[in-house]
Structure 1
Amino acid sequence: MSSYDVDLFVIGAGSGGTRAARIAAGYGAKVMVAEEYRVGGTCVIRGCVPKKLFVYASRFAHEFEDAAGFGWSIAGTSFDWPTLVANKDKEIARLEGAYRANLGRSGVEIVAQRATVEGPHAVRLADGTRLTARYILIATGGHPNLGPAIPGRELAITSNEAFHLERLPDSMVIQGAGYIALEFACLFAGLGVTVTVVHRGARLLREFDDEVAQRLEAEMRANGIAIELGVTITGIHAEAGAKRVSLSDGREIVAGEVMLAIGRQPNTSGLGLANAGVELAANGAIKVDAGSRTNVPSIYAVGDVTDRLQLTPVAIREGHAFADTVFGDKPWTVDHSLVATAVFTEPEIGVVGLTEAEARAKGYRLDIYKTDFRPMKATLSGRATRTFMKLVVDQTTDRVLGVHLIGEASAEMIQIVGIVLAMGGTKADFDRTIALHPSAAEELVTMRTKHASSDLPEQSAESTPAI
């Protein structure tokens, strides 16, 4: 008989925590999960799922415009924000129900309370109940960073509130240049909002390939999004149903809404981790080893609270690896080096592997392959958009180190490309693959010309690759 109340106590019922709980319970462990808000975590409730639904909604405007070039006459279209929000809420409620049902079927007990750590093997619930556990897993995720305290900061929203606005504003200022800021900038612009992006740095998407970031900036500007670089918001003031935004260069912008999207912070404050001696990083993230174990042998952490890679599939993999290792006697660790990533901007981005700058910093001698073309759809729609693809190849081994795409369906393509890179695929593997024509993806296997870093790829007028 165990001397503990449960074998595993999970704090946080997001993607990583629920996966770990279900797998551990499947191995026969007695598992309890504490969640103070809603089951599903950031991704399901206020992150990637509702955001992708909003992205879909925003793209219909372009689709309606494109249709004319293909012979369609679409008149009288209109958009209703409350309908989108209500339908989104219904889907989120359905998904939360599915998460709860899956946990229940797995034999996991859900406690709808906040839980804090009292020691290496003890937790305390909000109602005062004290429980002991052989293992404790922290999976509390993160929250939006509000940045420095500026006058009127409380008037701004974050990505959390963006999904529940009572009305769609006519204009919006968004501070930030990461994927969250730019995704919201593009989706709100697609819904008819006049959007201004403000960023203190000199470029967008700092952690992405330079050329991809430059092309996204150009496309966003062409789509009517104003981008102000080298400035920050220094104050927000309420003004007759709007907000007056003061910038660091002395200018002011009046907008219906202001969003701060300048990063996220791990949810570790007030969790009582110090009671167990759990070490934290300077930004509050829980320090863990490759197996997600903290410096306290009985306490683990997965997902955004560790600030390794803030991606839902990564949290799920970490939770699964933890449960397999600790309860299934099947030890393995997550490889964080080759994770396919998408940015659902307009156009969307798909990347996997090293950027050119990262590869050069690691000492690789590189061959760079690029292509830039007008997608076939745009030849009739008349839209001024282009697709760009880039392969970063190790000159010595011919192994493809990174693939960077910007254009329609990039997210779908990059998932498959991720498999190739995970298998150690080479440029020769790409070359001997027969192209699927006509498609944008065929360009991945037809690139032959090497480019120096400063070279621009040959630009074809249409999407008619050499076959």
Structure 2
Amino acid sequence: MTFDYDLFVIGAGSGGLAASKRAASYGAKVAIAEQDLVGGTCVVRGCIPKKLMVYSSHFPQLIDGAAGYGWQVGDRQLDWQHLVKVVDNEVRRLSNLHINFLEKAGVELIPSRATLLDPHTIEVDGRKVTADKILIAVGGRPVKPNLPGMDLAITSNEMFHLPEKPKHIAIIGAGYIGVEFASIMRGLGCEVTQIIRGDLILRGFDRDIRNEIQHGMSHHGVKILTNTVVKQVEKVAEGLKLTLAGEQEEPIIADTFLAATGRDPYLEGLGLENVGVEVISSHVDGLGYSTRSAIAVNEFSQTSQPNIFAVGDCTDRINLTPVAIGEGRAFADTEFGNNRRSLSHENVPSAVFSTPEAATVGMSEDDAQKQYGDDIKCYRARFRPLFHSLTGQDEKTMVKLVIDAKTDKVLGAHMVGENSAEVIQGVAIAVNMGATKKDFDATVGIHPSTAEEFVTLR
């Protein structure tokens, strides 16, 4: 049978872009459909605009610290409209850059939502096309709890386009999105109240990371209400009234309310039911939270339909940009490059761009304890970085290694403090190579630096 395309990709985010360009480099005829700006969550409404706002939020503390080094700094004021505009300009510049990359690779871009009609037929831009193989890379989108008044809440999508800087923003959600935006908005001068259902933020991370970030955020002025849930939201004369239950029952009033309670794969309207692609469910417990669905895939990103594949956040794997890129390239190498391979999802490093920042790779202490029992050993240090010896600011850094006591192998590395992501990226190489604590100890440190603490832990 003759097809219009060798590969048709639905979704021009990180995974779809990587897969389409790699497949085209092997000589495949490729088309990619995208109804929004090219670039996906990371470029358009995630990693890139968020990190730019993180940078902006750090300037007040840097300016305050400059006095300790002899600098005299005058009055400062944030131009919110300017910040929003320049961030959006950079997003659109990067989106156009990705379009140019597709053109150079020979990939046809179709600016439309695509729907699956049968295992080889797609309806897109008002016409039907066929493809030998189909890759679904539609990513995810934020979801709100099913609670009264949630139509008054915004999501992370809208955070980058607020017309005015909030005076008081309330945030529900203890994951990295809620934590990062709480830190960003506090750094930009907003009053911030974060409401979490448990006693600690960032479930799944190492407990020392969770404690250090939560303590640091509180130290910077974020008000964190623990073991508390929002029951309803209503519009009142003063703004938005949040009715609470739990440890904190007194209602709060804010002018902006962010729901950062998770993301779902964007599967609606894809026509998965037309092609027999299996969808699996996972349940998130809690008031107003519901079952979420994702596309089931094997280690080679293949769905239950042999010629249809899926990568990135629409699957039930690790939702990180570099993972989606790696999955997309591995798919293209396997199906078009005569190089059958899969992406390992073990020891994937990640970061939380909160204030303080954190990064991690490998196993948490709790996870290691479950697998290895008492045969683990932890090394940690907590200290004030040299930079703050003159700023007068009470900032701390924490570094930690989790070790298999029997083999001396490093199972996990964790850090909280400035430049954590930059440091852990390098440490992750050693962890992935199976380095031991003796290997770390035998490495000469760069002095004075924070990173050297990883090779001097005793």
Show CA shifts across 1:176-232 (max 9, x none).
Answer: 011110000000000000000001112111110011101111111111110001111
2:295 partner amino acid: I
Which residues of structure 1 form unaligned runs of 5+?
Answer: 449-467
Corresponding position: 1:29 with 2:28: yes
Any conservation in 1 of the 2:113–2:124 contact (CA below 8 Å)? yes
Show CA shifts across 1:349-378 (max 9, x none).
Answer: 010000011111112511110101111111
Corresponding position: 1:233 with 2:242: no
Provide the C-alpha distance between the structure 1 equivalents of 2:238 and 2:156, rounded to a whole number of angstroms.
21
3-state secondary structure, aligned to 2:89: helix
Provide the C-alpha distance between the structure 2 equivalents of 1:230 and 1:423, rounded to a whole number of angstroms.
40
Shift of 1:239: 2.2
Provide the C-alpha distance between the structure 2 equivalents of 1:91 and 1:22, rounded to a whole number of angstroms.
23
Provide the C-alpha distance between the structure 2 equivalents of 1:32 and 1:335, rounded to a whole number of angstroms.
27
Shift of 1:41: 0.2
Structure 1 match to 2:368: 359
Show CA shifts across 1:68-90 (max 9, x none).
Answer: 11111101111111001110111
Quick one: which of 314, 317, 333 aligns to 1:305?
Answer: 314
Corresponding position: 1:344 with 2:353: yes
Structure 2 match to 1:59: 58
1:403 partner amino acid: A
Structure 2 match to 1:452: none
Q: How does 1:80-91 map to 2 (within 5 A)?
A: 80-91=79-90
Which residues of structure 2 form unaligned runs of 5+?
Answer: 282-291
Provide the C-alpha distance between the structure 2 equivalents of 1:393 and 1:236, rounded to a whole number of angstroms.
46
Quick one: which of 151, 156, 160 aligns to 2:148?
Answer: 151
**So what's the TM-score if we normalise by structure 2?**
0.96
Provide the C-alpha distance between the structure 2 equivalents of 1:330 and 1:111, rounded to a whole number of angstroms.
28
Aligned residues: 445
Any conservation in 1 of the 2:110–2:125 contact (CA below 8 Å)? no
Q: How does 1:208-247 map to 2 (within 5 A)?
A: 208-240=205-237, 242-247=239-244
Q: How does 1:239-318 map to 2 (within 5 A)?
A: 239-240=236-237, 242-249=239-246, 250-282=249-281, 283-318=292-327
Structure 2 match to 1:370: 380
3-state secondary structure, aligned to 1:404: strand
Shift of 1:415: 0.4
Quick one: which of 137, 140, 143 aligns to 2:138?
Answer: 140
Q: CA RMSD in A?
A: 0.9
Structure 1 match to 2:170: 173
Structure 2 match to 1:200: 197
1:97 partner amino acid: N
Provide the C-alpha distance between the structure 1 equivalents of 2:157 and 2:13, rounded to a whole number of angstroms.
15
Provide the C-alpha distance between the structure 1 equivalents of 2:363 and 2:185, rounded to a whole number of angstroms.
30
Provide the C-alpha distance between the structure 2 equivalents of 1:289 and 1:147, rounded to a whole number of angstroms.
30
Provide the C-alpha distance between the structure 2 equivalents of 1:73 and 1:243, rounded to a whole number of angstroms.
40
3-state secondary structure, aligned to 1:285: strand
Quick one: which of 399, 415, 420 aligns to 1:405?
Answer: 415
Structure 2 match to 1:120: 119
2:393 partner amino acid: R
**So what's the TM-score if we normalise by structure 1?**
0.94
Provide the C-alpha distance between the structure 1 equivalents of 2:412 and 2:159, rounded to a whole number of angstroms.
33
1:217 partner amino acid: Q
Provide the C-alpha distance between the structure 1 equivalents of 2:110 and 2:119, rounded to a whole number of angstroms.
20
2:313 partner amino acid: D
Any conservation in 1 of the 2:302–2:310 contact (CA below 8 Å)? yes
Corresponding position: 1:444 with 2:442: no
3-state secondary structure, aligned to 2:6: strand
Share of identical aligned residues, percent?
46
2:83 partner amino acid: L
3-state secondary structure, aligned to 1:367: strand
Structure 2 match to 1:393: 403
Provide the C-alpha distance between the structure 1 equivalents of 2:238 and 2:278, rounded to a whole number of angstroms.
46
Provide the C-alpha distance between the structure 2 equivalents of 1:367 and 1:203, rounded to a whole number of angstroms.
24
1:440 partner amino acid: T
Shift of 1:126: 4.4
Q: Give every structure 1 segment of 4 or more consecutive aligned residues whose post-TM-superposition deviation is greater than 4 Å.
A: none
